[in-house]
Amino acid sequence: MSIIEVRHLKTLSALRETGSLVEAAERVHLTQSALSHQLKDLEEKLGCLLFIRKTKPVRFTSAGLRLLQLADDVLLSFRSAQRDIQRFAEGESGRLHIAIECHSCYEWLMPTIDHFREHWPDVELDLSTAFGFMPLPALARGDLDLVVTSDPQDIPNIEYIPLFQYESQVALSRHHHLAKKEFLTPDDFKKETLITYPVEAERLDIFKHFLNPADVSPAKVRHSELTLMMMQLVASGRGVCCLPNWALTEYTNRQYVITKSLGEEGIWCKLYLAIRTDQRNNAYMEDLISTASKTCFKNLKGILAPEL
């Protein structure tokens, strides 16, 4: 009998994606003790360690990395086969109309959409931004099928599936007078021009979780639909902006801007996929949700697994 089983590959894959034994155990629906025992038993049978204990994130040994390569190949084949069987059982056609409230989400959403189109070619897919309307009521009415949002509302028959946690950070010019501060306070914005996407202030993290509770308003609000344009304005000292930490990584790596946390602890938010409860068990909806989660953790830096 083979020493390595599919459950081992799923466990190692979860450990890589979450970075900790506790979160990996939750991902594969085991207790931490049971997961630790499973891994220790596998290591004893293989005669080598698969990862270094007490490291965060987890560091894998050469043997562990080789098994992760195997897991990527095998689990992909399993998911593909399961997807095909579901299509045979339930039919391949349908509709999936998506709206996004997070404009910078295109970085991970487009690879997800590409994957989805490849595997569900007969599903009618439409994608739009949610700048000009309220998408969650439209989802409840049936005008939409899925909404990407960080602002869940209590609406009957709407389910929110958490994707990940992210920190809302402020981008500043490298020469900004606030650049030397360890973190920013609400009062720091009283004389600043805040550059945002063209949506209502109450739907933006910086207002909802930081400025409004302190009863503070920026000196001026300026709108831009393009993240790149926002970065150009910030880099040239024409204002500051607040975006998810993963959306700012590209620009901080190029030393285009610097980032600061909102408050000493930072403001951490969750991104959700909102769907109607009657669609939760739809085959292609489940496939999109699974693909979106994997794509996020593969492509985005600085995000954390959601606390369920």
Of 308 and 273, the structure prediction assigns the larger pLDDT to 273
Q: What is the CATH number of domain 6-89?
A: 1.10.10.10
Q: Is the pLDDT of residue 101 over 70?
A: yes
248: nearest Cα among 114, 104, 146, 125: 104
Q: What is the CATH number of domain 164-268?
A: 3.40.190.10
Task: Give the pLDDT confidence score for residue 294 in this predicted structure.
Answer: 85
210: nearest Cα among 240, 176, 179, 250: 240
CB 211 within 8 Å of CB 195? no
Checking DSSP bridges between strand 94-100 and strand 51-52, what pairing results, if any? unpaired
Task: Give the pLDDT confidence score for residue 88 in this predicted structure.
Answer: 54
Q: What is the CATH number of domain 95-162+271-300?
A: 3.40.190.10
C-alpha distances in angstroms, 30 versus 25, 34, 126, 167, 217? Answer: 5, 6, 37, 28, 47
What's the mean pLDDT in 89-99? 72
Among 142-146, 171-175, 295-299, the range of highest mean pLDDT: 171-175
What's the mean pLDDT in 65-87? 84
Say how far apart CA 247 and CA 241 lie, in whole Å: 12
Rg value, the chain, Cα: 22
16-43 residue pLDDT tens: 988 889 899 998 999 999 999 999 999 9
Task: Give the pLDDT confidence score for residue 305 in this predicted structure.
Answer: 87
| Proportion of the chain in helix, strand, coil states, percent, rounded to 5 | 45, 20, 30
Task: Give the pLDDT confidence score for residue 12 in this predicted structure.
Answer: 93
CB 101 within 8 Å of CB 151? yes
Give me the torsion for CA of 237, 240, 245, 250, rounded to 10°. -30
User: Sorting pLDDT into bands at 50, 70 and 90, what band is 140?
Assistant: very high
Task: Give the pLDDT confidence score for residue 58 in this predicted structure.
Answer: 87
Assess whether the region 6-89 and the region 95-162+271-300 belong to the same CATH fold.
Answer: no
Task: Give the pLDDT confidence score for residue 189 in this predicted structure.
Answer: 97
CB 222 within 8 Å of CB 194? yes
Task: Give the pLDDT confidence score for residue 132 in this predicted structure.
Answer: 55
Domain boundaries defined on the chain: 6-89, 95-162+271-300, 164-268
User: Sorting pLDDT into bands at 50, 70 and 90, what band is 103?
Assistant: low
At 241 the three-state DSSP class reads strand
